[in-house]
Amino acid sequence: MKCYFNNLLLLIGLLCVWPFDTMKGQANTSAFISGDFADPSIIKVKKKYYAVGTSSEWAPHFPIYTSGNLRDWKQVGYVFDKAPEWTSGSFWAPEYYFHNNTYYIYYTARRKADNVSCIGVATSKYPDRGFKDQGVIISFGKEAIDGFVYNDNGQLYITFKAYGLDKRPIEILGSRLSADGLKLEGEVFSLLKDTNRMGMEGQSILHKDGFYYLFYSAGDCCGGGCSYNVRVARSKEFKGPYEEYSQNPVLQTNERWKCPGHGTFVKKDDGKYMYIYHAYNKQNNVFTGREGMLAELVWGNNDAWPSFISQQTDNRSTGNITASFEGQKIALYWQWDFRNATPVIRQEKGKLHLSGTSKEGNNTGVVLTVRPVSNHFDMTTTVANSNAALKGLAFYGDANAAIGVGAVNDKVEFWMVKDNNRTVLATQGIEAGVPVQLKFTMKPDLTCEVFYRQTGNDWQQIAPEIKQDVSFLPQWDRSPRAGLHFKGDSNLEAAFSGFEMVNR
């Protein structure tokens, strides 16, 4: 990351530009929320912080985390357990706001009627539960995304990204917002135009010393070829015109993390502003998605421009999971691709029962997934029942891109769906009616291995001669997920006793 400090102490400047992998204290050695957690937004409520992030095509929608210290985070729920009626998918960029003793989340989703991305809003009396959808608030051009609300001396404004406006470039637009936060008022106006055709989105605004500072993300957000970075412009007036900082970007790819962007700010008790954003871990690349990161905002003297110091989070969470399926309620970390399958999940007496129906053309089936935090992991489960359905483990990018291992009748099957074509890579006979343990290993060279065992025997690798590449799994805007798999008639089910994910 290049940092530009005007009139700051030389020491701070050195801290900023020193290579992060060798620098103690300021090194970005871990994400504050590991795994796929893009477009994060944060709010402080008394002594607690709450963060919400993009869920894209995974249900439930918009995971919510909480922390008391910005280091140790725990998932506490979702904004929506069920998709709002008007939506069809692409649940992106949720943005927290608090007003009139009400918590608002402004979010992006595709409208079912025409597949256009719009901005909706949900409200609750609590920051972590009870959100009620209030419907579409912004439909503008061919797409309106990334809502951000700003209170300018009592007048609420909402800003957003739009494109497809009569051959005009992408713009950050704004409008007055009603006092109840639920509708636009007056004419929509332009704050900043993408005249350089770099892309422009994910904006946040702060006011300091007579200037409005508009922070935004530029470049391609997602995938292996991303070019995301954070830039800043400022103006004496909220509506502009905004002057671009001559030494942009203020946050960009460094030795460990690439394509940082789409962040919002929170003020700590000590007065410091923290910027929550996402970035790809270079080692894991797109296989762990855009992970949640933190940086401190630093102001120069007089009217100097701001800069960022990336933060060491001391996050000791490994992302490992051991599930014994006790109780009747499934854990919060489980998600599924709601567009392509409708899972039926029942948990009781130490077993998780999975079945459901798949959308026509889905050659993978139903997958109940968790977010890996590494590109090197083992996951294991025990299939406790025997029938004609395929039951086991899957590494899932989408319904047309998945790979896994499962038991069906008296055999174990190593299978793959690529470009929506299903292939059985290998099979191995097993003793019917006896529980079978399965293991799926993802390796750093982007190949996978699969294993099975019964009645306490050693693990047996299936088709060790196959070095199956899995680089086809990640989707452009989200990482693949790993978890439990079912494919079969809806009157059948899979019964699993235990699941473990160990990230290496």
* Rounded Cα–Cα distance for residues 250 and 5 (Å): 10
Q: Tokens 């060491």, residue? A: 312
Residues whose CB is less than 8 angstroms from the CB of residue 235 and which lie 6 or more positions away in sequence, other chains included: 211, 212, 214, 241, 242, 243
* Rounded Cα–Cα distance for residues 261 and 177 (Å): 26
| Cα atoms found within 13 Å of the Cα of residue 120, Cβ hemisphere only | 27
* Rounded Cα–Cα distance for residues 278 and 146 (Å): 14
- 63 alpha carbon, distance to own chain's centre: 8
* Rounded Cα–Cα distance for residues 419 and 48 (Å): 45
Q: How many CB atoms lie under 10 A from the CB of residue 311?
A: 19
Beta strands of 366-410 (E only): which ranges? 366-370, 377-383, 390-398, 401-408
Q: How many CB atoms lie under 10 A from the CB of residue 301?
A: 9
Sign of the torsion angle spanned by Cα atoms 497, 337, 83, 68: positive
Question: What is the DSSP code string of 169-232?
Answer: PPEEEEEEE-TTSSSEEEEEEEEEE-TT-S--EEEEEEEETTEEEEEEEES--SSTT---EEEE
Cβ pair 39, 202 in contact under 8 A: yes
Residues whose CB is less than 8 angstroms from the CB of residue 114 and which lie 6 or more positions away in sequence, other chains included: none
Would you call 3 exposed, middle or buried from its count of C-beta atoms within 10 A (0-12, 13-18, 19+)?
A: buried
Cβ pair 212, 238 in contact under 8 A: yes
Q: Which residues are catalytic?
A: 39, 201
Cβ pair 451, 337 in contact under 8 A: no
Cβ pair 198, 158 in contact under 8 A: no
* Rounded Cα–Cα distance for residues 194 and 405 (Å): 47
* Rounded Cα–Cα distance for residues 339 and 162 (Å): 25
